[in-house]
Amino acid sequence: MATVLYITANPHDDEKSYSMLVGKEFIHAYRSANPNDEVIHLDLYETDIPQLDKDVFSGWGKLKEGIAFENLTDSEKMKVGRIGQLVDQFVAADKYVFATPIWNYSYPPVVKSYIDSICIAGKTFKYLPDIGRVGLLSDKKAVHIQASGSFLSSGSDDAELEMAHRHLKVIMDFVGVPSFEGIFVEGMAAKPEQEPAIKEKAIQQAREVASRF
């Protein structure tokens, strides 16, 4: 049995959000193909994700010096402990499904905060003296479902402006995830007359990818 971490970052539900709609279809198809697997939905808008702030860096510094976790301040314990929970959940999963919208050429800020919480040395990557950085999640796979009103995927005229899927690919490489692909729901604002066809194409792609994920 595999564990799928379904990570969404949209304040809207699947009736108003294309990324959430296609994500819902993906998960439904995945569950049909893998009825014994566990799917955990992590809604980043309903999740406590600490910012990397003074308390976090101070707490990490104290732990590195050998100070016990119990001796951190209350704020340090709360934030450092929560980041530990998030990265442990990420490491424990076998597969990742991200569903995000494009806002101003990138994803919502909450996604970056989450990424910061799971890029932890010793948990998802490490540095070796003669090799350098090594990702530790080499047995995982990931899919990114991304919705945008304009055309931003590879091959489009504005592909170089896109900073979400490309960044997530860098992060998956960083932590060692060897299999990463994208499903793009795009162009609804640029070509509103094609909106139904765009949506249906993305749903069909999501079902196909889910069946072999």
DSSP per-residue string spanning 27-57? HHHHHHH-TTSEEEEEEGGGS----S-HHHH
* Residue 129 near residue 4 (C-beta atoms within 8 A): no
Segment 9-62, tens digit of pLDDT: 999 998 899 999 999 999 999 999 999 999 999 999 999 999 999 999 999 999
Entry pTM: 0.95
Q: Tell whether 154 is in a known binding site.
A: no
Domains along the chain with CATH numbers? 3-212 (3.40.50.360)
pLDDT at residue number 176: 97
Q: Tell whether 19 is in a known binding site.
A: yes
pLDDT at residue number 131: 87
175-26-35 Cα angle (round to 5): 95
Q: Is the pLDDT of residue 186 over 90?
A: yes
Average pLDDT, the chain: 96
Q: Tell whether 17 is in a known binding site.
A: yes
